[in-house]
A and B are shown apart, each in its own frame.
Chain A
Amino acid sequence: DAKTTQPPSMDCAEGRAANLPCNHSTISGNEYVYWYRQIHSQGPQYIIHGLKNNETNEMASLIITEDRKSSTLILPHATLRDTAVYYCIVRDTGTASKLTFGTGTRLQVTL
């Protein structure tokens, strides 16, 4: 699986959009980009994933660049409950196999 690079921490004011970047410059054509988050020591929670096109669901939007070497997770109106560690990972073809999470971005939402 391709490796990802994320900033270690970010701050965001409550009510504003949080934009979390991820670099995955060695991604291959078959790899999906996934985002998860972990609040305190709970199990990681799935947020969103995509292959080439931008995606949106009730939690967030995912913007993937045309060359697929980077992506941005957007939380449109961050709340204090969005404070968490956010992980960006890329997932290989149908064999699933190893999944490397890295250390993620710690997002702190403040009043």
Chain B
Amino acid sequence: EAQVTQNPRYLITVTGKKLTVTCSQNMNHEYMSWYRQDPGLGLRQIYYSMNVEVTDKGDVPEGYKVSRKEKRNFPLILESPSPNQTSLYFCASSLGHRNSPLHFGNGTRLTVT
């Protein structure tokens, strides 16, 4: 089944403790992206990647890192999480051209205390 898989689904951590949220897709998509969703603010793009080893900042990249060492994986790294990064996170992928829909994962709900 074609899908975008995020792990974990839920994560509670403490301020400053490094964490990684994984994202994997099995559709051979070039484009991958991370979003965060907060009440009243909609979906905001954190980082995106056009292909392996190519990443770029979205609208809210501060406090996050990403890597794209292989096509299928696009992990989101929080080196030193803070409470304002408590949010619902979504990973998405597509073929990368404008005539290609995004496929979203089921989300990761992160709480930083």
Contact = CB atoms under 8 A, between A and B. Distances in A.
Q: Do A and B come from one complex?
A: yes
Interface of A: 30-32, 34, 36, 41-46, 49, 51, 87, 91-104
Q: Which of B90, B102, B107 has the most A CB atoms < 10 Å from its CB?
A: B102
Contact of A42 (B43, B56, B107): B107
Contact of B50 (A36, A95, A101): A95
Contacts of A42: 106-107
B110 to A, nearest CB: 13
A99 B101 contact: no
Interface of B: 4, 31, 33, 35, 37, 40-45, 48, 50, 56, 58-59, 88, 90, 92, 94, 96-107, 109
A94 B96 contact: yes
B108 to A, nearest CB: 10
Contacts of B40: 103
Nearest to B49: A96
B48 to A, nearest CB: 7
A90 B82 CA distance: 32
A1 to B, nearest CB: 10
Nearest to B37: A41
Nearest to B101: A46
A107 to B, nearest CB: 15
Nearest to B90: A43
